[in-house]
Structure 1
Amino acid sequence: MAFAAAHVRLRGFLLLRAHVLKTSLPRLYTVAISSLEATQPLEPGASVGEGATWTAAVGGVGGVSHPMAPKKQVRSWEEHPEYRRWKNKEEEILRDIEPIMFLTKDILHSDKYHDGERLCPEDEKEVVEKLLAYHPYSKDKIGCGFDSIMVDRHPQFSHSRCLFVVRTDGGWIDFSYQKCLRAYIREKYPSYAERFIKEHFKRT
């Protein structure tokens, strides 16, 4: 009898122990997982239980790996379409006016003509058609009638020379070739004239 009672108690103890282990296992597993989560770094923007993924603790700030941002393509201002359009037009205007500019400077600053000398027919034709015709007050300059173009000392600045319109009555009056060029550019290139004049002419 005593042996049978002891056997029953031992069996009951073993069954109870097995039950305790069985019911405790999920909790222990959960605790282990929680401990593991506490030691692993999260990716930026992730949280536990919301699809969080783990990264190896190498590189980045605080052991977190960050993806490399793509490099921005910085565009040179010289490649901007508006700038390129301006430069192309600037070159076009220069090609247009440079021949008459060079001729005028040669007339005024070289020894090709002496003070009070009238221009040769070829030079006079260029000056009349490409300069005088565009002067804002060309009609007033011509007055009673056009006779010729002359180069002489400026009436107010004797150290410099300028062009003169010689009238049919024998009188003459000076005119600015730069005023003629500015008026020509404004008429032919209205959208770019002011910018060109500001950058290429000292006086307005």
Structure 2
Amino acid sequence: MSGDGIGFTEISDVHREERKGKTLTKLPSKFYVKAEEYLAQRREEYARQSSNPGNPAAMMLQDEIKKVDKRLTQIYQMRERKIVLASLSGTRPDNMAPRDKALYEELTEVLAHYRKSGEARAPKVREVAEVETAEAPKPVVDCQTEFVEVEEPETDSEIDSTVVQVLEDIPPFAGVDHTYDLKKDDIVTLPTKFADLLSSKGKVRIVEG
């Protein structure tokens, strides 16, 4: 497809470049919108052609639709992974389309809130540890070697938690001790502050106990 249109060739080119690079590929203007429009048009054409059984044009269209649909899905997934990694590292990637920017900004906001809530708890943990160390006698063995008990870091399972139902797929994000990969209709337990934030954005529904 020539001009400003998006067709099979343009989608295949973007797919190839996205697979090769570690950073986001620069997309043609309004790529996502035009690519979905192109796919819808090909499906409409297939519906017309398939009314005649055994029509070679219909078979070719069906094959093209499958390939385009698969490549678009992979483009979305590859770009989403790159944006997730960028948000986790705190770097803002270049070549973001409006859809990409919306995802990046939402992820950054969620991660900043989650990390801030973790920092707010950290001083309290250190203060308790210092008091206990000062008051409790240090164990001593015959060889006069001192052993000081080291407090284990808090994990997600030890933080106040809330059971939620996921209302839509949410890109993977890092917790305190593991990565969450939430899909629509999942029933999961999340740290309460994180559950409240996602609930306020309509991403999850809190399940009453």
TM normalised by structure 2 equals 0.25
Higher normalized contact order (CA 8 Å, seq sep 6+, divided by chain length): 2
Higher gyration radius (CA): 1
What's the TM-score, normalizing by structure 1? 0.26
